[in-house]
Amino acid sequence: MTRNDNVLNMQITIANSMKEEWNIDYSKVSDLLEKYDLLQYIDVCYEEYNSMGIKGILLDLKSYMDAMEEAV
């Protein structure tokens, strides 16, 4: 598999985990992915995320979204 295939797999896994761990529906997941450009962010963080568990990844995403909100 290529890096792009692996990134896509990670993005899907993270989106599913966002839904389950944050108790939100897929519509809200989609809104968050779009609003904060999280798919691109996950791509950038792919290598780092490979050494983290899902809880750490979700914590990082929350921190990233909070930082984006503060920057506005």
Distance CA 4, CA 52 (A): 19
Q: How far, CA to CA in Å, does 38 sit from each of 1, 31, 32?
A: 22, 10, 7
Q: pLDDT per residue over 42-55, tens digit each?
A: 999 999 999 999 99
Q: pLDDT per residue over 3-16, tens digit each?
A: 999 999 999 999 99
Would you mind telling me the total number of residues written for the chain in this entry? Answer: 72
| pTM for the predicted model, two decimal places | 0.94
pLDDT bin (cut points 50, 70, 90) of residue 23 is very high
Burial class (CB in 10 A: 0-12, 13-18, 19+), 42: buried
